[in-house]
Amino acid sequence: MDRDSFDYAIENTKTHIEPENLIETFGSTAFDFILISELMDDVNRVRLRRGTLQADRPRIVAPHHFARIMLEGFGEKAREFADWLETNGGDMKFLRYGFQFTKSNLHEEVVSGKVESVVARAVEEVRSEGSARRAVIEGIDDAWEVSLLKLAVDTARRSAGGNVDEWKRRGLI
């Protein structure tokens, strides 16, 4: 996928319902999703993908650990930066979120109708169930995984403050 296609997929991802539950600080968290995309070569045909996105528990990474993680595939200049970060990082901490897309839970179906109608039905389905761990996303069919990863990053971003607060309350940072 080229950069323009990637940017197009990011810009055209719409999250209609995001998971209410945030990523657990001390355990893994699973989110169910419905990802809806219009088939580009078939009028009024829409693909629904249902599956699970697994978020590993976040970790606190100190500069000396971060320096080792970030060097994979980089050259000598990166080693110099990592050495500098390890020496000058002080009490700087990074959050590391890990996601695992569980394809074994992936189910696809193609339905007839306008994408707006299919989205509205999916939103109503999720709202009527009242599940706090479900998401409804609309994206580009051939770049649907980009839309799913955008949901993962957005959820991690929303969770970070609460995770940090909980670690602080427990004296871990």
Mean pLDDT of 68-97: 63
Q: Both tokens of residue 35?
A: 């990802």
Q: pLDDT value at position 102?
A: 54
pLDDT of residue 14: 96
Task: Please report the pLDDT score of residue 73 as a whole number.
Answer: 61
Sequence-separated contacts (24+) of 48-51 with Cβ below 8 Å: 48/108, 48/109, 48/110, 48/111, 48/118, 48/122, 49/106, 49/107, 49/108, 49/144, 50/105, 50/106, 50/107, 50/108, 51/101, 51/102, 51/103, 51/105, 51/106, 51/107
Among 23-27, 38-42, 55-59, 101-105, the least confident range: 101-105
- Confidence tier at 108 by pLDDT (50, 70, 90): very high
At 92-104, the pLDDT tens digits run 666 666 666 555 5
Global confidence as pTM: 0.73
Average pLDDT score over the chain = 80
pLDDT in tens, 140-170: 999 898 888 888 888 888 887 787 787 788 7
The residue assigned the tokens 């993908």 is 49
